[in-house]
Each structure stands twice: as C-alpha cells, then as structure tokens.
C-alpha cells in the first residue's frame, strides 16, 4: 500500500514550510541537500521535520496540504504541538457575518 504525506518543516529562519510527498525521508533529505535551488527552503537550510500526516488517497493529501498552506503560523504551530483545544479555538469563525454574531430578527424589528 502506498502512502502520501503532508509535512511541515521548520526552517533555519524559523519559518514553516508545508509540502506533500510519497517518500518523506527522501523529500526531507532533498530539502536539506538543496536539490532545488529555486525552492523556498533552499536558502533556509537546514530544515527539520516537525509534523507529518499520512494518507492513502493522494487527493486527500493534496487537499490537506492546500488547507494547511492557508492557515496562520499560530494555527500550524498548534497542530505541530498537538494542542487540539487551541486548534479548535483558532478554527472558529469570528467575522461579523458568522451566524453567532448575527442579531435575532426580533432584535432588529424593535
């Protein structure tokens, strides 16, 4: 059975890099070897693997990677730390259009 991995690397400059691969050990070695000069991590080596999640379905892995790339650093750090309570708090919608912040219709009519 083939696995696909979504991973987060901690770079030398303290930034986080999110990627997806089918061979996590090889990919981390490539990042640290600077195999791709145009890659984000090339000038931020060495990098350290701080999180990975495995998937059987490559499409699920790709979708999870896309989702993680949109997350804030604080939210990614909560995932890395396994702080799922904090992750839950950070995932709650807080904008004015969210249903929790809309007034009841009775309040508007008064």
Q: What CATH number is associated with residue 48?
A: 3.40.1440.10
User: Are residues 84 and 44 part of one domain?
Assistant: no
pLDDT per position as a tens digit, 15-26: 999 999 999 999
Instruction: Extract the tokens encoding 106.
Output: 């009775």
User: Are residues 62 and 96 part of one domain?
Assistant: no
> Which residues make beta-bridge pairs with 23?
none
User: Are residues 40 and 91 part of one domain?
Assistant: no
- Rounded to whole angstroms, the Cα distance separating 22 from 12 reads 24
CB atoms within 10 A of CB 47: 20
> Which residues make beta-bridge pairs with 5?
21, 54
User: Are residues 50 and 85 part of one domain?
Assistant: no
What is the residue whose two structure tokens read 């083939």? 2
Report whether pLDDT(97) > 80.
Answer: no
Domain of 3, in residue numbers = 1-70
- Contact predicate 47/10, CB 8 Å: yes
Q: What is the pLDDT, as a whole number, of residue 96?
A: 63
User: Are residues 48 and 77 part of one domain?
Assistant: no
Verdict on whether the full-model pTM lies above 0.85: no
């Amino acid at each position: 059975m083939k696995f696909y991995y979504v991973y987060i690397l901690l770079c030398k400059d303290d930034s986080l890099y999110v990627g997806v691969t089918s061979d996590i050990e090889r990919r981390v070695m490539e990042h640290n070897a600077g195999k791709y000069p145009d890659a984000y991590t090339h000038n931020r080596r060495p990098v350290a693997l701080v999180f990975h999640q495995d998937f059987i379905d490559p499409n699920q892995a790709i979708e999870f990677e896309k989702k993680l790339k949109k997350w804030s650093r604080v939210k990614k750090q909560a995932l890395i730390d396994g702080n799922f309570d904090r992750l839950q708090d950070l995932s709650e919608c807080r904008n004015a259009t969210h249903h929790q912040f809309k007034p009841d219709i009775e309040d508007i009519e008064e």
